[in-house]
Amino acid sequence: MGTGSITVNRRALRDYHVLETIEAGIELRGTEVKSLRLGHVSLIGAHARIEKGEAILHGLNISPYDHGNQFNHDPVRPRRLLLHKHEIIRLQAQAEQKGLALVPLGLDFKRGRVKVSLGVCRGKQIQDKRETLKRRTADRESARAIRDA
């Protein structure tokens, strides 16, 4: 119980250049963990900010647990990320640079705990997105040619 990928933010990988990744724990309620085990989560539009010396994840949508009744949670509430102080200070220095953002790249279970892969990212221009798409298509075609030959 408790290992494996929950979700990957494929849109972030398409829209950003990932400069660095860091793994952080996340503070959750019981019904949120149960909902995550069912895979009811969306990372689209999520981002992290450093507020008052704490890393906070905003915009993460965890759907309410079906059997949670009155104990259910707010689906898009801000959630605290669990990082060491020196990691928070380093991330804050990087996030304050112009054009850099803290974007969640994925959610995983590790030994029964939920971990967030957080990326320090720089936004891609439209040209970069097209170039990435062309490169991916060329790689796919070359792999197909090698396989068929």
Domains in the chain (CATH in brackets) are 4-124 (2.40.280.10)
Contact (CB, 8 A) for 21 and 102: no
Spatial CA neighbour of 59 closest among 83, 77, 35, 39: 77
Q: What does the buried/exposed string (b/e) look like for 48-69 if buried means 16 or more CB atoms within 10 Å of the residue's CB? A: bbbeeeebbbeebebbbbeeee
Q: Comparing C-alpha atoms, which of 66, 68, 50 is closest to residue 58?
A: 50
> What's the pLDDT at 3?
66
pTM score, two decimals? 0.79
Please state, in angstroms and as integers, the Cα–Cα distance from residue 99 to each residue in 39, 95, 102, 121, 130, following that order. Answer: 32, 8, 10, 8, 20
> Average of pLDDT values for 64-92?
88
Indicate whether 108 pLDDT > 90: yes
Backbone angles phi, psi at 29, to 5 degrees: -95, 165
Q: For 7-62, how does the pLDDT look when each residue is reduced to its tens digit (9 = 90+)?
A: 898 888 888 889 999 999 999 988 888 888 988 999 988 999 999 999 999 999 99
Largest CA distance in the chain: 61
Q: Write phi, then psi, for 81 (nearest 5 degrees).
A: -95, 140
Q: Between these two residues, 4 and 42, which has the higher pLDDT value? A: 42
